[in-house]
Amino acid sequence: MSEVDERLTEGVRVAMLGGTFDPVHLGHLRSAVELREGLGLDRVHMIPAALPPLRDTPQVPPEERLTLLRLGIGDTPGLVADPRELARDGPSYSVDTLATLRHEIGAQGRLVMALGHDAFLRLADWHAPERLFELAHVVVIDRPGHAASPSAPLRRLLADREVASAEALMAHPAGGLLRLSLPTRMAVSATQVRRRLAEGRSVRYLLPEAVESRLLSRGLYRET
Ligand code: ATP
């Protein structure tokens, strides 16, 4: 079978990178680009949570966070600013979002839920964590300053799902776990960006210029 035939029977390769994106920064965007390259993905859907279940309500409304995400992505090939969680009421559960993506790409499509190591450590507390693995693979991205080991409940959830390579992961539509060390690791966080803006300090080179311009011109995050 040629590589093209294999891709046709295998279906598309799609990842979801969910988050608060409060605001989007270069750590998110560079990770999404390298994730796409590393796994040979057709698209990475970057999906802002309207109401993140496990954290305080963000101070900037979801529509504005989506606008900033769109500006940040610009014309980057393969990255999509996906508004689907903004249309739903109630908490933004990833399992519901993955179900809609699975429906769109079909049973043979490869679906990945990507998340940073900090978010991964809380995975066992998420809504319907077992179901996440029925719908998608989980790919954990290394993040500087977040190296703690998984808790016992998380280790039980992961059982023997871990695989060693992108090829092994992509051999199946869902159900695997891969830890990925991307070539560029950035210590930038949205917390750091918000703090700097509140203190009137520079955020240059932490986020795309178009995002910085909008944040500054609208005075976003100036008040804590
Ligand atoms: P905050 O500082 O407000 O907690 P954050 O910078 O972690 O925000 P989120 O929107 O919560 O940003 O993150 C969305 C996803 O992107 C999460 O899975 C998170 O682990 C991951 N992520 C965020 N920043 C980075 C980074 N610098 N490198 C790799 N992954 C990241």
Residue 167 CA to ligand 1 centre (angstroms) = 25
Taking the centre of ligand 1 as the mean of its atom positions, its distance from the CA of residue 206, in whole angstroms, is 13
Distance of alpha carbon 151 from alpha carbon 100, whole angstroms: 29
Higher-scoring residue by pLDDT: 40, 92: 40
* pLDDT tens-digit map of 171-209: 999 999 999 999 999 999 999 999 999 999 999 999 999
Q: Residues with beta carbon inside 6 Å of ligand 1?
A: 19-22, 27-28, 31, 115-116, 118-119, 141, 143, 186, 188-191
**Complete DSSP assignment for 102-138:** HHHH-TTSEEEEEEEHHHHTTGGGSSSHHHHHHH-EE
Reported ipTM: the value is 0.98
Closest CA to 193 of 16, 58, 86: 58
Q: What is the pLDDT of residue 156?
A: 94
| In the predicted structure, residue 224 carries a pLDDT above the cut 60 | no
Q: Distance, CA 39 to ligand 1 centroid (Å)?
A: 19
Cα distances (angstroms) measured from residue 72 to each of 18, 27, 131: 15, 11, 31
Instruction: Report whether pLDDT(155) > 90.
Output: yes
Average pLDDT over residues 79-106: 94
To test ligand 1's pocket by mutation, which of 189, 191, 211 has the most ligand atoms within 8 angstroms of CB?
189
pLDDT on residue 51: 83
Percent of the chain at pLDDT exceeding 70: 96
State the pLDDT at residue 32. 98
List pLDDT tens digits, range 48-72: 998 877 777 888 999 999 999 999 9
The Cβ of residue 156 has, within 10 Å, a number of other Cβ atoms equal to 10
Domains by residue range for the chain, with CATH: 3-187 (3.40.50.620)
User: Does the structure show a pLDDT above 70 at 9?
Assistant: no
Q: Is the dihedral of CA 131, 134, 135, 140 positive or negative?
A: positive
Task: Tell me the two tokens of residue 42.
Answer: 């057709």
Helix axes 26-39, 62-73, angle to 10 degrees: 60
Q: What is the pLDDT of residue 146?
A: 86
Distance 185 CA to ligand 1 centre (A): 12
- How far, in Å, are 40, 58, 89, 173 from residue 186 at the CA level? 21, 22, 33, 29
Q: What is the pLDDT of residue 73?
A: 98
List the helix and strand counts (H, then E) for the chain. Answer: 10, 6
Going by CA atoms, what residue is nearest to atom 21 of ligand 1? 116
Residue 213 burial (10 A CB sphere; 0-12, 13-18, 19+): exposed
The confidence band for 10, taking pLDDT boundaries of 50, 70 and 90, is confident
In angstroms, what is the span from residue 66 Cα to ligand 1's centroid? 15
Q: Which of 24, 28, 65 to mutate to test the pocket of ligand 1 (most atoms within 8 A of CB)?
A: 28
Burial label for 139, CB within 10 Å (0-12, 13-18, 19+), is: buried
pLDDT at 54: 76
Mean pLDDT score across all residues of the chain: 93
Confidence of residue 7 (pLDDT cuts 50, 70, 90): low
Q: What is the pTM of this model?
A: 0.94
